[in-house]
Amino acid sequence: MLTLLSMFYYICLRRRSRSGTRGEALTSRRAVESGQRATLPISVEVEQYAKEVLDFSSHYGSENSMSYTMWNLAGMPNVYPSSGDFTQTAVFRAYGTWWEQCASAPLPFRRTPKAFHSQDYIELAFEEPVYPTAVEVLETYHPGAIVQIMACSLNPFSQNPPTDVRWEVLWAEEPTKVLTPQARQFSPSIKQLSFPTNLIRVEVNSSLLKYYTELDAVVLRGQKERPILSLYKMPRIDICDLSDSDEELSDPGASSRQAGDGKHINLGNGYFDKLPYELIQLIVSHLTLPDLCRLTQTCKLLHQHCCDPLQYIQLSLQPYWARLSDTSLGHLQGRCTLLQRLNLSWTGNRGALTLTGFSSFMKACGGSLVCLELSCCHFLSEPCLEVISQTCPGLQELNLSSCDRLHPQAFTHISKLTQLRRLVLYRTKIEQTAMLSILTFCIELRHLNLGSCVMIDDYDVVASMLAVRCRSLRSLDLWRCRNLTERGLAELAAGCRLLEELDLGWCSTLQSSSGCFQHLARNLPCLRKLFLTANRTVCDSDIEELAANCPALQHLDILGTRMVSSSSLRKLLQACPKLLLLDVSFCSQVDARIVQELCGLFPNVAIKKSFTQ
């Protein structure tokens, strides 16, 4: 036993000498042998709030104001320790599972790792790089959405960025359901870094929350000098990585023995040879992408199965955004010749993907694509969209959400994708000319998201074109469109009578006195989701018209109206048995007592009423 332990210790030291410096190895060995703890010098801890918001995936606010936007996370707290719904906080676009239940929601991708929970993110820059000792997030309303905190080796203010950008996870956990909506200071225990950082990324999952989560500030604590303790830290040794050499076997799949005459006799693949090819394919299909790539290296038989293009009909690379590069795409390129659904959301930023690498992959693998997710892909440029339009003639779904650095001219190439059925352009800089060109040629559109597209000058013209060209439209998101009037809404309702989802949240130019909402209800009997958020003119007549004409209604948001009473809401709840969500926050005639009464009468409906402390 002593001999085995000695051999194991010897191998560990060899691995250590290869992975670190000789000085570190000797120091670690002496520390272990002496059993003494090193005396650490006193280091001053730095506390700093975020200096700048660099990037984010979505927010509730608009692009030209500060209310409910991610930009509120820069600087000192505005609200904390108060609790409640405040406009000075940062709020993401969605919460709960309501959006996933809608017809416009994309299908989930196979092979998404169970440990990947992130739905949204925000990246924050701080003044000084430090070795983090704590990250504190001040949550002021419905906490519990944070699932991961990461740190980056890149200094965003440096004039000479490094070629190798590393992201490290400081803390990660599954989504949690916090019972109280009250404010809290969230400060999880974080891991120690080997590099200083002033770029922090917070990822969230709001699926378990009862309402929008609100964040007020982020604090980064740390030391300017590297803690001495990390220099004495023994490396974590993988028990599967103790080989005497880093070289791979030339033929790991050759199961054979040597006969007396020196010839090799093939022993086959054991029980695998008795299994049908399709059964092994089914077993392998349950592996995540990293496991699939690892299994490829074990033997020739499994290499053949793991590289079969049928295993790559769907490919989601979003969970691996921090590690994906041109080289990664190059390795996958030969296996993805039958690729139909591809998710590259969040990938490629800060030079990780280039036009050359992306174009090469799309030209080789884009011929059969029907779905392409590119949310928050800031490497995209006009030539990238041109390549997509040329190599993906059968593309039906395209998501460019929050690709806010794409030049307006780039969107003209989308009009060549005439088979499009779902198009997400949320928070992009698409202009009216390009949008009208898309609607002229993409007449098969079923789902269109133009939320927060502030560069479109006249939404009435867009609505009129939709009514003429896209009569099969099922969902339309016009969240925070600036200039839609009752004329455009009337044409839309008359031409797109199959609409099931319509988001008119924060469309302040629509006035109930024109009768536009009543006309809408009478012309859209299939309506299942209607958001009239922050339209203060919505009145009882509009609600009663919905109750009379939209029995399939499931989601209704009338936050902020002053003219809706409890009597019309009761009629709506009685007439719409499928109703699941009703948001009456800041409705002055609907107080907490009325909400409690309605919740008792209609327990299957989630009636939302936010508060301000």
Cβ(382)–Cβ(389) below 8 Å: no
419-445 burial code (b ≥16 CB/10 A, e <16): ebbbbbbbbbbbbbebbbbbbeebebb
Instruction: Provide the strand spans (E) within 42-178.
Output: 45-49, 52-56, 90-91, 120-141, 146-152, 167-172
Measured CA to CA, the distance from residue 519 to residue 531 in angstroms comes to: 16
User: pLDDT per residue over 212-254, tens digit each?
Assistant: 999 999 999 999 998 765 544 444 433 333 333 333 334 444 4
User: pLDDT per residue over 515-551, tens digit each?
Assistant: 999 999 999 999 999 999 999 999 999 999 999 999 9
- Tokens of residue 370, six digits: 């029907």
249-271 burial code (b ≥16 CB/10 A, e <16): eeeeeeeeeeeeeeeeeeeeeee
Task: Give residue 262's pLDDT band: very low, low, confident or very high (50, 70, 90).
Answer: low
Share of the chain above pLDDT 90, in %: 80
- Tokens of residue 529, six digits: 């989701």
Checking if the pLDDT of 255 tops 70, the result is: no
Report the mean per-residue pLDDT for the chain: 89
Checking if the pLDDT of 39 tops 50, the result is: no
Per-residue model confidence (pLDDT) at position 613: 64
pLDDT (average), residues 548-564: 97
pTM of this structure: 0.88
CA 584 from centre of chain: 28
Nearest to 599 by CA among 545, 177, 557, 591: 591
Task: Give residue 11's pLDDT band: very low, low, confident or very high (50, 70, 90).
Answer: very low
Measured CA to CA, the distance from residue 124 to residue 440 in angstroms comes to: 40
User: pLDDT per residue over 111-150, tens digit each?
Assistant: 999 999 999 999 999 999 999 999 999 999 999 999 999 9
Residue with more model confidence, 267 or 104: 104
Checking if the pLDDT of 30 tops 90, the result is: no
Q: Give CA angle at 337 (336, 342), nearest 5°.
A: 50
Measured CA to CA, the distance from residue 71 to residue 78 in angstroms comes to: 12
pLDDT (average), residues 361-383: 98
User: pLDDT per residue over 55-68, tens digit each?
Assistant: 999 999 999 899 99
Nearest to 538 by CA among 508, 574, 495: 508
